[in-house]
């Protein structure tokens, strides 16, 4: 796929008619990700993914598309998790009346909390250095966007070299929270929210600052070499060991 590739699709589940959108794939931005986890994810299983349009918003010069993927076990139908991706389609807006721009969503507006980064010192800081091959490894998950592997495509998109997938950066941040507040136990996580702020280059160090607030951990991840925030959000936990909570509140720790 080249940057000039045009993609089109029609959403038919908004309840307000169909909308055909054309967009330039090179202008697509992954803006946010929200994840709810309902039960432990098995290491081996056959699953079914069902995708629907959860939101569509005409912003004039751009369109915000929200895609919701529900993952369930194939045999029992038991739901494992839900992922909602917020995609910014630059140049694809203006398909509705500007005085009453089209906006549609299937979920309550207060389902995702606002991001609020405290002014106080973080409860914990975790540094992880990504590998130079990080994007090439992560693309094996199924995201083969050449922006993350082809230097020519990356330069056409305005980057000096291929960039890391946003979800890979989110994975580093979530792991930092699990390592710092959950004794390394991923089943302690109830939901994850992340807003992508800036690109990350493979090989950079990701420094995740975390603030504990009850069962919610607010976080901000920076590209340490550039001292630029690249991701912010929160992780909602099922529970936290009381002894670990006391330690994190008292100390400003750097986890290596």
List active site positions: 143, 148, 163, 166
Burial of 142 (0-12, 13-18, 19+ CB in 10 A): exposed
Q: How far apart are CA 232 and CA 193, in angstroms?
A: 8
Task: Give Cα 235 to chain centroid, integer Å.
Answer: 12
Phi, psi values for residue 240, rounded to 5°: -135, 135
Q: 35: Cβ–Cβ under 8 A, 6 or more apart, which residues?
A: 81, 82, 83, 84, 191, 192, 193
Q: 167: Cβ–Cβ under 8 A, 6 or more apart, which residues?
A: 30, 33, 138, 143
Residues in the chain: 256
- Can you state the percent helix, strand and coil of the chain, rounding each to 5? 20, 40, 40
Rounded to 10 deg, the angle between the 242-250 and 166-181 helix axes is: 100
8 Å CB contact between 87 and 31: yes
């Amino acid at each position: 796929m080249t940057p000039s590739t045009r993609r089109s699709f029609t959403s038919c589940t908004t309840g307000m008619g169909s909308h055909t959108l054309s967009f330039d794939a090179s202008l697509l931005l992954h803006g946010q990700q929200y994840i709810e986890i309902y039960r432990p994810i098995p290491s081996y299983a056959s699953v079914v993914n069902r995708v629907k349009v959860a939101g569509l918003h005409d912003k004039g010069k751009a369109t915000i598309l929200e895609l919701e993927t529900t993952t369930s076990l194939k045999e029992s139908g038991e739901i494992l998790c839900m992922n909602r991706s917020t995609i910014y389609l630059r140049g694809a807006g203006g398909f509705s009346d500007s005085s009453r721009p089209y906006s549609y969503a299937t979920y309550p507006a207060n389902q995702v909390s606002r991001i609020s980064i405290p002014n106080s010192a973080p409860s914990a800081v975790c540094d992880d250095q990504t590998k130079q091959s990080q994007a090439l490894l992560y693309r094996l998950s199924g995201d083969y966007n050449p922006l993350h592997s082809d230097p020519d495509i990356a330069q056409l998109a305005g980057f000096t070299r291929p960039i890391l997938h946003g979800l890979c950066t989110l994975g580093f941040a979530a792991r930092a929270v699990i390592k710092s507040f959950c004794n390394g136990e991923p089943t302690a996580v109830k939901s994850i929210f992340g807003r992508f702020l800036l690109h990350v280059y493979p090989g950079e160090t990701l420094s995740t600052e975390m603030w504990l607030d009850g069962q919610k951990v607010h976080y901000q991840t920076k590209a340490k070499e550039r001292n630029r925030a690249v991701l912010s959000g929160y992780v909602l936990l099922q529970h936290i060991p009381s002894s670990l909570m006391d330690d994190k509140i008292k100390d400003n720790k750097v986890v290596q």
